[in-house]
């Protein structure tokens, strides 16, 4: 990938390679890229200098000099994603484009139970987009963690109890060795169907075993999906997180 901001900073062409790809509408908390250059700059200059040439919604967070043997994609041991969902009877406004949305209450226990069927090495064909270019649908999920941040009930004063609701944010954390095209969004579609009581937790096992995209729920919105970055071995001395991790609910 040819990168305009970097090229303008060093006044020469730059070709970058990244740790992973994301769909349109998906956010990045810590995309990692590497490149070769003859330009000699201090690490902090690669941050502040390049950011001068980037749009306001993209910013370099850190920079490190690495050995020639480092490869941002091939050296990644694991990859992490986070999905943030707003549970509320009212659609997102300030958070529009930054969260997914459900207008029914979600069952934490049911979603946790369903998620355990996916942990481990499996054929994830049921959660694979038709355009996926991965060589194999077999991937390993190391964990799926689901957290809820409580909110305050909304009551519009009417007698209709459907308008009395407890808005909150849900955070779904995924870590695996690699992910298929739309895999997280398709898993989210299934987890939210189960969380809303539309399917039992055991349905997730049936979807996984089917190895067919037709067996799973529709692909969920990209709005609340965040690429949380790769995990590298300690020998590279690279940061594991950025300040944006603490901004998410």
Positions annotated as catalytic residues are 23
Q: What is the Cα–Cα distance from 249 to 246, expressed in whole angstroms?
A: 8
**Burial environment of residue 182 by CB neighbours within 10 A (0 to 12, 13 to 18, 19 or more):** buried
CA dihedral 163, 166, 168, 170 (to 10 degrees): -100
DSSP per residue, the chain? -B-HHHHHHHTS--BEEES----TT-EES---EEE--S----HHHHHHHHHTTS-TT----------TT--TTTT--EEEEEEEEEE-SS--STTTTTSEEESS---HHHHHHHHGGGSEEEE-GGG--TT---S-SEEEEEEEEEEEE----B--S-S-GGG-B--EEEEEEEEES---TTHHHHHHHHHHHHHTTSS-TTHHHHHHHHT-GGGSPPPPPSTTEEEEEEE--GGG---S--GGGGT--
């Amino acid at each position: 990938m040819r990168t305009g901001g970097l090229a303008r900073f060093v006044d020469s062409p730059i070709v970058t390679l990244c740790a992973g790809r994301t769909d349109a509408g998906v956010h990045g908390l810590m995309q990692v890229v590497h490149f070769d250059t003859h330009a000699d700059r201090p690490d902090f200059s690669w941050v502040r200098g390049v950011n001068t040439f980037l749009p306001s919604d993209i910013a370099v967070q850190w920079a490190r000099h690495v050995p020639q043997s480092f490869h941002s994609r091939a050296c990644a041991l694991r990859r992490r994603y986070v999905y943030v969902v707003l549970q509320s009877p009212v659609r997102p406004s300030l958070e529009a484009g930054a969260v997914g949305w459900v207008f029914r209450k979600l069952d934490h226990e049911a979603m946790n139970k369903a998620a355990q069927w996916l942990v481990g090495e499996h054929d994830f064909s049921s959660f694979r987009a038709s355009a996926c270019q991965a060589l194999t649908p077999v991937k390993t999920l190391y964990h799926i963690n689901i957290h809820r941040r409580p909110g305050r009930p909304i009551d519009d004063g009417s007698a209709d109890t459907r308008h009395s609701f407890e808005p909150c944010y849900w955070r779904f954390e995924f870590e695996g060795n690699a992910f298929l095209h739309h895999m997280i969004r398709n898993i989210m579609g299934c987890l939210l169907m189960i969380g809303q009581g539309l399917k039992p937790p055991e349905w997730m096992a049936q979807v996984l075993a089917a190895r067919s995209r037709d067996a799973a729920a529709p692909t969920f919105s990209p709005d609340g999906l965040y690429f949380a970055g790769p995990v590298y071995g300690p020998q590279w001395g690279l940061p594991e997180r950025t300040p944006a991790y603490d901004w998410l609910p």
